Amino acid sequence: MVDRLDEIFPRRSDVEKMALRGLLRAMRYFASANIRVKVFLRDDMLEQVVGTSDGFTALTHVTARQADTLRWTEDQILTMVVKRLVANDALVAYLELNREQIDASASYRTQCFDRVFPPNVFKGTRQSSTIRWICNRCADGRGVITPRDVLDLLIRAKQKQQDICGADPEGKSEWVIDTAAIQYGFEELSKRKRDTYLRAEFPHLWKDIEKFSGGKTEYNASALQTLLGKKWQSTSEHLLAVGFFSKNEKHGEAVFSIPFLYRHGMQLTQGRA
């Protein structure tokens, strides 16, 4: 099994592209009745390797056994979170939860989640559920949600809730982890993603990413050209590929949006430039 390839080479670099192309070519010549090589690649990395002007000879030999892209749904994220919660014996006893029902009933998993977290992060009749709010905030520009980011948000939320309770031992909270702690967890996640993902993994793109600090959340082509310069199109393609942007069309115009995941870390203000 060959995994964590996104941690070896500078991301979106020529070195990474050459190395991964060599790895995939080598797989064509490796055949064994007893051993099968499995390579795990992010979809944006695979696109970079095969989607070049050089092409990729005999690509079908590489992708013949390719599995579907692994994507986590909202239900899968909720299940993961609930299973982490019920691993705590004290919490199970305090809330009188039934571990045996977790795997058997989706509705019971939702009930367990709702015993720990408030129904909504913000008040209002049209607000999304807390689990959907969390998933929306953890999704990058490609719509990818990683369990690691969700857990990071919730771990930091738990720590914040402990600090709140420690500061006011006599205080009361309706929920085990309340809205203020969840919002704090998201803000800390956004800052961490800025530093440990955008800045650390894409140092050659950071000078362009940093230009968005303190700016707006949406940009049209004209605004990107002004901000990024003559190579704005190729730069924008890189930023789309790494999930810093999503691209949609509004009123016949291409609009590039920065996802919630990075907005707090980049100190962005709602609106279009």
* Mean pLDDT, all residues of the chain: 88
Same domain, residue pair 182 and 79: yes
Share of the chain above pLDDT 90, in %: 61
Domain encompassing residue 186: 74-199
The verdict on residue 69 lying in a domain is no
Which of 134, 166, 199 finishes a domain?
199
The verdict on residue 171 lying in a domain is yes
pLDDT bin (cut points 50, 70, 90) of residue 86 is very high
pLDDT surpassing 70 at residue 59: no
CB 269, CB 200: distance < 8 Å: no
pLDDT surpassing 70 at residue 52: no
Same domain, residue pair 194 and 78: yes
Which has the minimum average pLDDT: 4-18, 72-86, 154-168, 243-257?
4-18
In 3D space, the residue among 221, 227, 273 whose CA is nearest the CA of residue 247 turns out to be 221
Same domain, residue pair 192 and 86: yes
Specify the long-range contacts of residues 38-44, CB closer than 8 Å, at least 24 apart: 38/1, 38/2, 39/2, 39/3, 39/5, 40/1, 40/2, 40/3, 40/4, 40/5, 41/5, 42/6, 43/69, 43/142, 44/142, 44/241, 44/242, 44/243
What pTM did the predictor assign?
0.82
pLDDT bin (cut points 50, 70, 90) of residue 213 is very high
The verdict on residue 68 lying in a domain is no
Same domain, residue pair 185 and 208: no
What pLDDT score does 38 carry? 78
pLDDT surpassing 60 at residue 248: yes
Q: How many domains does the chain contain in total?
A: 3
Which has the minimum average pLDDT: 21-30, 151-160, 246-255?
21-30
Same domain, residue pair 110 and 159: yes
pLDDT surpassing 60 at residue 205: yes
Same domain, residue pair 235 and 163: no
Task: Show Cβ contacts of residue 195 under 8 Å, excluding neighbours closer than 6 positions.
Answer: 265
pLDDT tens digits, 106-149: 999 999 999 999 999 998 878 999 999 999 999 999 999 999 99
pLDDT tens digits, 144-195: 999 999 999 999 999 999 999 999 888 788 899 999 999 999 999 999 999 9
CATH number for the domain spanning 212: value is 1.10.10
